[in-house]
Structure 1
């Protein structure tokens, strides 16, 4: 049976167009739904349907075409865009395979490709023992072929994509972007922010050097993009700014008195949220004067090497921190939030009890994740796209690599002892605990996780 692939929106780059050509050269039929003029520009004239209407009518419009065309596969980038959620629901209803691309879980050099969904919708198991068992049967995934930095082509493609969208008022009048702001507003804000980058880099490098040289005990909090789907859909906060108050309040209540909190902005942040001002206000309100360091730039590996612990919502920096053997607390849904790897208690308890991750489990987890869900390559540079296409043959396979591993190594059902009552509760937002005496942190106390017989 000939495979028929339907593409929805991809990264703002030629990657989906090149992937369509690659599939067509191997006998597949490819078509795209263009939702905006930028989609049409980057599909480069291949067969496509245009949908000019509002999102509310998209599902019914698409379902009629799925039934009439005999489609077999759906390809998309990011599973939480509104049109993509509608399409994935219809694909499951009609038995289509859903191939979801995303930025790499493991970085650099990798992008993510899963069947069904990514991030919190991933089919990756939540069983630490499974990763140990499967990794032992797999070769070492290694670091992959190096993918050259792609910031310049990424910016150029993004600008070309959104410049084309100036024509939406003529051909795609019903389209509304999934991004929180209009592209023109974001570009203006980026221009203002990046004009100050050189100054920030010198200042922030000096601040990090002072922390390290003085052996200042600090925890690290990397910010995520305010409109990141991980924050909007897979956390209790909705925005990154909303996460700061409960984190800083917990730090003020329970962190050792001599400890600092280093907060670093995301490199692609637009600057539309004034984090420096927001954090400064919280610092004064919560009595944290002199204990919070906000960085616009900075070398993340250096910060991870010297941090006592790392707090994330669900950033991929959390997985990097685990590979640096830093204790990690996640506050949202993260694929790496497993007993034995991350702190499983409340945030208030994290500051005083630093549990080092199980290195062998971290290595096993990474190895399986790379084999099952990662493609060596990138979305934006010519070299990165060419490298990624070499790993895309798995789109033509009947089952994904993860499905093959789950078939070969079935998950064992969890057994709860009859005399044990396990209550798993994760509050929507870190709760306010009763004030307790802060532990003193003269020397970091690292304890090894014990793997629980019953995981969340």
Structure 2
């Protein structure tokens, strides 16, 4: 390690070669790289040679002491995590600041598909981004436009293959990592079975949904959009007041029945990566009868979101990135939680019951400044799964990880 090099501790990453390639890049630049393995999948994907590797096999309650030892032994200056809500990351994030350790958090992009998120200390609800519209206006007006991203194709089958390999390697966990518990509430076999069934059915659903969307957008009745999120997503589990999407659907349909104009429709669209473990169609039918909404709701398993947003009278979301897409389309948007875009002038700030009565569109100037600022401060061109996406992500992330200040810290 060079005199000016930093010392990076890598915890858990995505199920792909991104983490090891980033570690190799940092090591090649003269930085120390230390990796902690928590399960068989971590061990499979990490390529030895970048630096020391340690396996954590003890109960979770002993992780803080384990990390303290590594921090001291290797003079850790930075730690790298994917997602800030995994149990194996929370102790690192909470304990790092008192030791002067910077935490770099990767996450899927706020703007997609050619971007990933990299922030210090937290993302989403824990982002250091201010929640002040005037700050975004002032900052965004001073920043130059971001160049167009380099594009790449990231096939779902590539991501799925990495995920399967990662979990197959986890078959050794009972022996090699006996105390490891997955942060996801759904086990891999159940998840894969759900995907297999749902994706088989999608070929039958798509023509039906396309016809429904054509009728909806060509009709004269106003409609509101409720895009569903994943029940397993930390955005719902850790960053919202709801336990699951069933609660969200109930809350929104109840309010719609009581307060929306009589001629309005409610379009509920499933998440494209939903595992099919929850029968949303049946839940919605039951709630239709309960709230007297027969003929006023439409449920879609698939379909083009942009086509819907161009015509929607409004979008209700919890904290999905769909909210940002809705704002891009100048569609009135209400967030039921507190995502980074929940700002006065962007999202509707009154309650849900009042939203159904002609909500105002987002302020164009504020959204341009918000978009420009968030892109500059938190987004990197790249991806986590395909070869070209990983190359771009490694190149761009290495520059930010080794800088004295993050782009957001420089703005603040």
TM category (shorter chain) comes to over 0.9
Note if contact 1:109-1:143 (Cα within 8 Å) is conserved in structure 2.
no
Q: Deviations over 1:140-168 (max 9, x none)?
A: 11441213133121101000000100010
Q: Partner of 1:27 in structure 2?
A: 30
Partner deviation per Cα, 1:20-40 (whole Å, 9 max, x = no partner) = 011111111111110000001
Distance 2:230 2:410 in 1: 34
- Structure 1 residue 59: Cα displacement: 1.4
State the Cα deviation string for residues 151-204 of structure 1 (Å, max 9, x = none). 121101000000100010110010000111110110011101110111111110
Q: CA RMSD in A?
A: 1.0
Counterpart in the other structure of 2:123: 118
Report the counterpart of residue 139 of structure 1 in structure 2. 144
1:68 positional shift: 2.4
Q: Is the 8 A contact 1:314 1:330 kept in 2?
A: yes
Measure how far apart 1:63 and its partner are: 1.5
TM-aligned CA deviation for residue 215 of structure 1: 2.8
Partner of 2:60: 55
Long gaps (5+) in structure 1:
407-456
Q: Deviations over 1:418-443 (max 9, x none)?
A: xxxxxxxxxxxxxxxxxxxxxxxxxx
Which residue number in structure 1 is paired with residue 369 of structure 2?
Answer: 364
The match for 2:134 among 129, 137, 141 is 129
CA distance in 2, matches of 1:191, 1:59: 39
Give the Å deviation of 1:43: 0.6
1:192 aligns with 2:189: no
| Bigger Cα displacement from structure 2, 361-370 vs 126-135 | 126-135
2:269–2:299 Cα contact (<8 Å) kept? yes
Matches within 5 A, 1:12-411: 12-46=15-49, 47-392=52-397, 393-406=399-412
Unaligned runs of 5+ in 2: none
Q: Name the SS for the 2:119 alignment partner.
A: strand
Distance of 2:42 and 2:193 partners within structure 1: 23
Paired with 1:55 and 1:145, the residues of 2 have a C-alpha distance of 40
Deviation digits for residues 367-403 of structure 1 (CA, Å, limit 9, x no counterpart): 0000000000100100110111221111000110000
Distance 1:142 1:310, change over 3 A: farther
CA distance in 1, matches of 2:173, 2:355: 49
Q: CA deviation at 1:404?
A: 0.4
Q: Which of 3, 6, 14 is equivalent to 2:9?
A: 6
Q: How far apart are the structure 2 equivalents of 1:213 and 1:121?
A: 40
Is 301-310 or 37-46 further displaced after alignment?
37-46
Query: Per-residue CA shift, 1:53-76, capped at 9, x if unaligned?
Result: 221221122122212221110000
Q: d(CA) in 1 for partners of 2:342 and 2:147?
A: 22
Paired residues in the alignment total 406
| Alpha-carbon distance in 2 for matches of 1:142, 1:208 | 34
3-state SS of paired residue (2:9): strand
Q: Which stretch of structure 1 is more off in the superposition, 209-218 or 247-256?
A: 209-218
Displacement of 1:132 after TM fit?
1.3
CA distance in 2, matches of 1:297, 1:201: 6
Whether the 8 Å CA contact 2:154–2:385 is kept in 1: the answer is no
SS of structure 1 residue aligned to 2:315: strand
* Partner-residue secondary structure (3-state), 1:114: strand
Q: Equivalents in 1 of 2:327, 2:273: separation in Å?
A: 23
Q: Return the alpha-carbon distance in structure 2 between the equivalents of residues 377 and 168 of structure 1.
A: 31
Report the Cα distance in structure 2 between the residues aligned to 1:352 and 1:142, rounded to whole angstroms: 38
TM-score normalised by length of structure 2: 0.97
Which structure 1 residue ranges, 4+ long, deviate > 4 Å from structure 2? none
Q: Distance in 1 between matches of 2:311 and 2:111?
A: 21
SS at match of 1:336: coil
> Contact 1:102–1:118 at 8 Å: present in 2 too?
yes
Secondary structure of 1:311's aligned partner:
strand
Give the whole-Å Cα distance in 2 for the aligned partners of 1:143 and 1:273: 38
